[in-house]
Structure 1
Amino acid sequence: MSDRSIFLVTLVVDDYDTAKAFYCGALGFDCLQDEVQPDGKRWLVVRPVGEAGASLLLARADSEVQQAAVGNQTGGRVGFFLKTDDFDRDHAAMVAKGVAFLETPRREVYGTVAVFADPYGNRWDLIQHSL
């Protein structure tokens, strides 16, 4: 039996500092690494507080093709899912920090959810699963 998991996903952004401010400030993620590489790029890894789940590598676009993908990495679909153990707490904190929710929270059979956008337009679900 193997022990495999997705631990890191690249999110293409237009500016390291803007992305870090949003993910670590407004969303409250931990910054795990922020190291300048020899080519001038940064290895910038953030993750929601806690031990479970994947981290994001915030990678600055460095070509026209990559720049075109900023904010549209999943073609306008919700592509990222932020799980919480307290929807109301996290929703209120995110709203207070200026996170743009695209809908009011709704109750589904699987839990409470609301779609929000990062500064680039990538769509995220904030979700608390039903017990």
Structure 2
Amino acid sequence: MVLYVSDQAVARRFWTEVIGCTVATDAEYGDERWLEVLTPDGHTRLVLTKAQPGFERPAARDDLPHSNVFFYTDDIEATHRELTAKGVAFPAPPVKQSWGWWAMFEDPEGTRFALRQD
């Protein structure tokens, strides 16, 4: 999954030091940098690509994520507490829906991602 970011160094710190991903690849090629992180469960690679000038993240209602990347946790309330303590912004606390628990968190650029617990 490709995530467009304005600052790869800031994105790398957020995804590794705060969220708990590991760096899979960080290599320069030409004038650019190829940066991949592996999610804590080891199942998904996120490519943190430098957004080109004029890039705008997809528009979304305030109650929906900007990204189609959904993260899952076994204990959403504990994850919410842990990430909030690390400074991660949550537009609203976790809420139980008929289909499971739901929350959203934001990266340093304000891009919202879904967090789920079944």
TM-score range, shorter chain: 0.7 to 0.9
| Cα distance in structure 1, aligned partners of 2:17 and 2:99 | 28
> Which whole-Å CA distance do the structure 2 matches of 1:51 and 1:27 have between them?
13
2:59 corresponds to which of 75, 82, 91: 75
| Residue identity opposite 2:14 in structure 1 | F
Structure 1 letter corresponding to 2:36: V
The corresponding residue for 1:48 is 39
Q: Matched residues in 1 for 2:18 and 2:100: separation?
A: 23
For 1:114, the equivalent position in structure 2 comes to 103
Aligned residues: 113
Q: Map 1:1-131; keep pairs closer than 5 Å.
A: 9-37=1-29, 39-52=30-43, 54-61=44-51, 63-65=52-54, 68-69=55-56, 72=57, 74-76=58-60, 77-78=64-65, 79=67, 80-129=69-118
Structure whose alpha-carbon radius of gyration is higher: 1
TM-score by length of 2: 0.86
Q: TM-score, normalised by structure 1?
A: 0.78
- What is the CA distance between 1:43 and its match in structure 2? 1.1
What letter is aligned with 2:59? G
**Cross-structure match for 1:6:** none
RMSD value over aligned CA atoms? 1.5
How far apart are the structure 2 equivalents of 1:51 and 1:127? Answer: 17
Which stretches of structure 1, 4 residues or more, deviate above 3 A after TM superposition? none
1:51 Cα shift? 3.0
Q: C-alpha distance in 2, partners of 1:31/1:90?
A: 21
Tell me the CA shift for residue 40 of structure 1. Answer: 2.6
* 1:4 aligned residue: none
Corresponding letter in the other structure for 1:25:
E
Tell me which amino acid in the other structure corresponds to 1:28.
G
**Preserved CA contact (<8 Å) 2:76 2:94:** no
